[in-house]
Structure 1
Amino acid sequence: MELAAQLEAFAKQIPSRLAHIQGEEATKQALILPFLGLLGYDVYNPTEVRPEYAADFATKKRGQFEKVDYAICINGEVSMLIEAKAHNQKTEIYSGQLARYFNSTTTARVAIVTNGTEYRFFTDLKEKNIMDSDAFMVFNVLDHDSSDLELLQRFTRAQYQAASISTLAEEVMCLQNITTYIYNQLQNPSEGFVRFVVDELGLRQRITTRVVERYTPILRTAIQNALAEIQHATEQPVLVSPALPATPTRSSSLPKRSRAETPSTEPVRPSLSEDEIAVLDSICEILQCELHPQKDEECVVIAHPSGQGWALRYNTVHPKPHIVFNLPLDAARAIASHVFFFGHPLGTKANFSALSDLYALREVIHEAYRT
């Protein structure tokens, strides 16, 4: 069975396991070791997966060595270090602790901190043998797409190459930076970008501020038309919104509703963030009804009106804000062919970067909630 199918089967088991997992040790046994097994590592072989590995100079009081939870050894050499946390802890707050282990183990090329569902990968791009402060890759077992899976393949036992880690990390970071730059330019062209395009057109006129102002809306419309043409030609739909935020990977960039736009009669709701409330208000507006959601870990869950299960759930905390529908993937694509959907262990997923994106999902939201 290929890795994608194995991960899908494993992801379906996780929700039922979480209710019985208490603490870090249980997280290791129920979530982390099975995941390492899927990647092809022999978790029962201490020459390949070494538990409680002592870092060289990371010492506690009285000369005792600090120990990282797992060291992955390939050809007898420590290649990856893994720091485990309980499933209900945030992985991003433990990179400092992990850095001490990585910096003291010169053969390790990758350091990972995980809570059993999210895995954050670090290396030493900026300074050799000093772990970078930012992860170059984040993989979520419950929420990933084909590009995430393609990167994860590079860390399987069969494909791992220590010598190529720096190159891979550089390419990933470069891709992220370029993607963000192009994304921002396509949605809100900068003056420099407009000047470049006008100059490339060879219009033989001096590019003044007035010229830039004139061509900015034209360029914005041209970009939208070009994207629509690409979508039609390739039959690979993309989610296009006329008002996306400047930074597409942060949930904090979601536009907030003003106080005047908030309904005067607030329904009883769990404790939600501003982003979560803004998304909920938009869904209420689309469905033309009040909703009483529940909070499940980082997701806001909207129950089906029949009382049988849930209709949809959304997450604004994840680096890629998204909404999951309790619908088959083919059904969602048939309803909204202009939207790019992903398969998800719980149904069908669509990413969004602004409240306006939700209105492109209007028909799917209605289908999930009404049927």
Structure 2
Amino acid sequence: MAFSDSLASIAKKIRDMRDTVETEEATKNAFIMPFISNVLGYDVFDPSEVIPEFTADVGVKRGEKVDYAIFKDGQIQILIECKKIGDPLDLRYASQLFRYFAVTSARIAILTNGQEYHVYTDGDMPNRMDEKPFLIFDLLDIDRTLVPEIQKLSKESFDIDSVVSAAEELKYIGGIRRIIAAEVKEPSEEWVRFFVNRIYDGRATQRIVDQFRPLVAKALHQYVGDQVNSRLKTALGDDAPDPNRSTELASAPTPGQQPIGQAVIAESPVEDENVAVKGVVTTDEELEGFNIVRAIAVSEVAPERIHYRDAKSYLAILLDNNNRKPIVRLNLNGKSVKYVTTFEEGKDVGVRRDIESVVDIYKVATDPIRQTIRRYESGGVTSEIDTPS
């Protein structure tokens, strides 16, 4: 099994079982040991490779244990301290990692709750574990750019020099990315003033900064949406929708080859996927919303399985072009009110979620969209809705 496939497999297990795991020991057995074994490739039943409840008396601390010590080439290379799934990863509750790091040969320490992993080394001071991790990843929301770095921790690819040499850069890049993510979500005073000073000719008073705050937030959201659309178009090739395309009449395609998401004005009702019904125009904003939903859904299913059907008042997005598998409805054509409707388990009717711009779909509907698709994929209840055919 490829390394990325191993990550996907353990992620699916976490997604399916996390609600039934209630203790730290259960977390170890269900998620952490399989990660050590199936992802990193160490034999959890071979004490020459993995020792659970590892003890190394440190000073006045006697009998204190670290959850796992991983050996390679006869030396301790990695220490792992575990928490219960869902618990916050706070080093205040893992002081033994600091102590063991100083008295063993380990250069890597991991703090995990089975889903999230914080990886540390001694980049700031030799033989002393850094207070900040150089690598953070969440198995349910893995950043693909980090997969090669995670693989360096595996038995097959373990190279401590390579890991440590990349650690400083990873730590700073990760920190910068988290700052950017926080600023996109809610721009800080300093961030807003940065843009005001660049584009506003007058004095940046507090009133001006407050006026610019929603503008900066909106611009950032639109930029993120543009980048998502661009990446989807590249990934899907020529069949991807062009977000800059106007709602003009499309050139007639051959049967069964209608470009996905292409804006058209149909002259008669159609059955082909991803095209408009009679007299309905699929707007650029609706296409952008469709791309955003597809970007969210791609963590669960292949993007080509996400389809839309347009109506005058909303855009219905479906799994497998199936009326009984509605994912979300986009109501984006109102002049002042925009909202999305999600279809959630246990709800007799759709749940309305108001938005200010199409990019807000990420904020209000990411989890419901993914949960709905998982329900369909697991054979759960489907919903018959009135959808344009």
TM range (shorter): 0.5 to 0.7
Equivalent position of 2:42 in the other structure: 41
**Whole-angstrom distance in 2 between the partners of 1:186 and 1:66:** 41
CA displacement, residues 164-183 of structure 1 (integer Å, 9 cap, x when unaligned)? 33332211222123335666
Aligned residues: 259
SS at match of 1:57: coil
Contact 1:122 1:131 survives alignment (8 Å): yes
Equivalent position of 2:142 in the other structure: 144
**Whole-angstrom distance in 2 between the partners of 1:152 and 1:50:** 21
Aligned residue runs from structure 1 range 104-253, under 5 A: 104-105=103-104, 107-180=105-178, 184=183, 191=193, 209=203, 234-235=231-232
**Whole-angstrom distance in 2 between the partners of 1:123 and 1:74:** 17
**Whole-angstrom distance in 1 between the partners of 2:101 and 2:202:** 53
Contact 1:58 1:65 survives alignment (8 Å): no
SS at match of 1:147: helix
**Whole-angstrom distance in 1 between the partners of 2:229 and 2:20:** 48
CA displacement, residues 219-245 of structure 1 (integer Å, 9 cap, x when unaligned)? 9698888777766655459xxxxxxxx
Higher relative contact order structure (alpha carbons within 8 Å, sequence separation ≥ 6): 1
Structure whose alpha-carbon radius of gyration is higher: 2
Identity of aligned residues (%): 31
Distance change (3 Å), C-alpha of 1:365 and 1:82: closer
Matched, 1:31 2:31: yes
Contact 2:120 2:135 survives alignment (8 Å): yes
CA displacement, residues 174-196 of structure 1 (integer Å, 9 cap, x when unaligned)? 21233356664999655556667
SS at match of 1:165: helix
Equivalent position of 1:90 in the other structure: 88
**Whole-angstrom distance in 1 between the partners of 2:175 and 2:22:** 38
TM-score, normalised to structure 2's length? 0.51
Contact 1:56 1:104 survives alignment (8 Å): no
Matched, 1:57 2:74: no
SS at match of 1:32: helix
Q: CA deviation at 1:27?
A: 3.2
Matched, 1:330 2:303: yes
Larger deviation: 147-156 or 42-51? 147-156
Aligned residue runs from structure 1 range 62-73, under 5 A: 64-73=62-71
CA displacement, residues 257-294 of structure 1 (integer Å, 9 cap, x when unaligned)? xxxxxxxxxxxxxxxxxxxxxxxxxxxxxxxxxxxxxx
**Whole-angstrom distance in 2 between the partners of 1:87 and 1:50:** 21
Contact 2:297 2:369 survives alignment (8 Å): no
Contact 2:81 2:94 survives alignment (8 Å): no
SS at match of 1:91: coil
SS at match of 2:157: coil
**Whole-angstrom distance in 1 between the partners of 2:72 and 2:23:** 29
Contact 1:185 1:193 survives alignment (8 Å): no
Contact 2:54 2:66 survives alignment (8 Å): yes
**Whole-angstrom distance in 1 between the partners of 2:101 and 2:52:** 15
Q: CA deviation at 1:6?
A: 2.3
**Whole-angstrom distance in 1 between the partners of 2:131 and 2:113:** 18
**Whole-angstrom distance in 1 between the partners of 2:19 and 2:184:** 45
Matched, 1:358 2:360: yes
**Whole-angstrom distance in 2 between the partners of 1:181 and 1:12:** 29
Unaligned runs of 5+ in 1: 199-206, 238-321, 337-347, 349-354
Contact 2:102 2:128 survives alignment (8 Å): yes
Contact 1:89 1:115 survives alignment (8 Å): yes
**Whole-angstrom distance in 1 between the partners of 2:177 and 2:28:** 35
AA matched with 2:48: T
Contact 1:70 1:83 survives alignment (8 Å): yes
CA displacement, residues 125-180 of structure 1 (integer Å, 9 cap, x when unaligned)? 32222222222323333332423433321211122221233332211222123335
AA matched with 1:2: A
**Whole-angstrom distance in 2 between the partners of 1:130 and 1:4:** 31
Q: CA deviation at 1:7?
A: 2.8
**Whole-angstrom distance in 1 between the partners of 2:21 and 2:3:** 24
Q: CA deviation at 1:41?
A: 0.9
**Whole-angstrom distance in 1 between the partners of 2:9 and 2:296:** 21
Equivalent position of 1:3 in the other structure: 3
Pairwise CA RMSD of aligned residues?
4.7
TM-score, normalised to structure 1's length? 0.53
CA displacement, residues 2-29 of structure 1 (integer Å, 9 cap, x when unaligned)? 1222232333334565576564444333
